[in-house]
């Protein structure tokens, strides 16, 4: 039994336009469609220097000009994920479903794709929840490309809505909390001098697991500060925190330098990136998304950080595996980004080291939910 949304994936030795066409053709075959209303197309960084011919090939295969998407460090579908090899991932929409104009004042999620230069606070600041990621590659060097209507956009960002479906957005930050939230007592510029009554670095060192604390160096690349919102007693459990990355630890005055300044009175907890915690948190993320959707999903979008995917989970993408296990046959598409976009405490936010999940239920389409259960 077919459903008018499906995905296709294609890989090759070189970044050839035929890969984009093959991904679309495979998606159309799965969906039982002769042509698509719209296509969401993600390409690996190998296509970034000149994606135009691939976009035209995808449009010809789809029989439509409504092709939107971007390049990412890697791409994924419910079939598999691709990193380090040229490839294309496509999701086709038929029947009453299509990509349309975004309503930035509405309640439905706005698919939000951008290059690093296209990202801006004014763009993020909408009342509608955003879902998406920043186009990237494994080295952060670019070039980065985004497109809509089969054209590469100079502005570097795309807004789109999925017409004919209701969606919800949920985020997994998946950090292992090492402390409870502590009051930021003293700051100087980007330096946090004291947490509570103690030097910030001292609090950090004392919070580390014994096997980490006993090493020659503190693994600062694995440790972050979490700045909480609202009730600090429930903020970590509810995911109401933003990550603030450590720039340096200063032995001279026992301070810690952050990438974003903090203010006295804010609450911060120390956290570590941890695969088991991330996996457990993503299970909770799926549960919350299903509960908020209120019915079985018909398709999904998934935007993991390039630092969270297979390189983090030991050559497996456990986030993708968990969705496939929970909903066998569910069409899923996404890419590994250089920053993930979703709401945080009612405001759209740029995440790091996170995975953003969107679940969608079609409205008025035949065979909706495909026999799946919530």
Angle formed at CA 301 by CA 272 and CA 136, multiple of 5 degrees: 60
- Give the chain's largest Cα–Cα span: 68
- DSSP assignment letter at 338: S
What pLDDT is recorded for position 324?
97
pLDDT tens track for 231-254:
999 999 888 999 999 999 999 999
- Interval 127-145 mean pLDDT: 90
Pick left, alpha or beta for residue 21 (phi over 0 → left; psi -120 to 50 → alpha; otherwise beta): alpha
Q: Is the pLDDT of residue 139 over 90?
A: no
Of 264, 365, 356, whose CA–CA distance to 31 is shortest? 365
**Domains of the chain: which residue ranges?**
5-173+277-362, 175-273
Task: List Cβ neighbours of 217 (8 Å cut-off, separation of 6 or more).
Answer: none
pLDDT tens track for 328-343:
999 999 999 999 999 9
Q: Say what the pTM is.
A: 0.94
What pLDDT is recorded for position 369?
63
């Amino acid at each position: 039994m077919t459903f008018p949304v499906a995905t296709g994936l294609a890989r090759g030795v070189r970044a050839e336009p035929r890969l984009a066409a093959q991904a679309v053709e495979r998606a159309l075959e799965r969906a039982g469609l002769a042509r698509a209303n719209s296509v969401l197309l993600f390409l690996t960084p190998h296509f970034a220097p000149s994606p135009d011919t691939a976009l035209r090939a995808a449009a010809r295969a789809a029989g439509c000009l409504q092709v939107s998407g971007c390049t990412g460090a890697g791409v994924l579908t419910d079939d598999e994920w691709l990193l380090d090899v040229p490839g294309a991932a496509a999701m086709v929409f038929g029947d009453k479903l299509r990509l349309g104009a975004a309503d930035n004042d509405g309640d439905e999620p706005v698919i939000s794709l951008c290059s690093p230069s296209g990202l801006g606070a004014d763009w993020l600041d909408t009342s509608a929840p955003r879902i998406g990621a920043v186009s990237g590659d494994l080295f952060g060097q670019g070039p980065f490309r985004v497109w809509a209507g089969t054209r590469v956009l100079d502005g570097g960002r795309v807004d789109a809505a999925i017409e004919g479906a209701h969606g919800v957005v949920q985020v997994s930050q998946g950090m292992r909390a090492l402390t409870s939230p502590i009051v930021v007592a003293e700051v100087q510029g980007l330096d946090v001098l004291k947490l509570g009554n103690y030097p910030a670095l001292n609090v950090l060192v004392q919070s580390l697991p014994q096997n980490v604390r006993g090493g020659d160096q503190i693994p600062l690349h694995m440790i972050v500060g979490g700045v909480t919102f609202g009730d600090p007693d429930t903020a970590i459990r509810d995911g109401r925190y933003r990550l603030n990355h450590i720039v340096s630890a200063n032995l001279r005055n026992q301070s810690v330098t952050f990438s974003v300044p903090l203010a006295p009175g804010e609450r911060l907890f120390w956290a570590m990136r941890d695969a088991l915690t991330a996996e457990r948190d993503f299970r909770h993320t799926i549960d919350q998304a299903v509960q908020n959707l209120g019915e079985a999903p018909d398709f999904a979008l998934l935007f993991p950080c390039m630092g969270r995917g297979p390189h983090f989970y030991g050559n497996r993408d456990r986030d993708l595996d968990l969705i496939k296990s929970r909903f066998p046959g569910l069409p899923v598409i996404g890419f590994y980004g250089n920053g993930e976009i979703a709401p945080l405490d009612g405001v759209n936010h740029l995440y790091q080291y996170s995975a953003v999940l969107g679940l969608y239920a079609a409205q008025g389409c035949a065979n909706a939910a495909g026999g799946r259960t919530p």
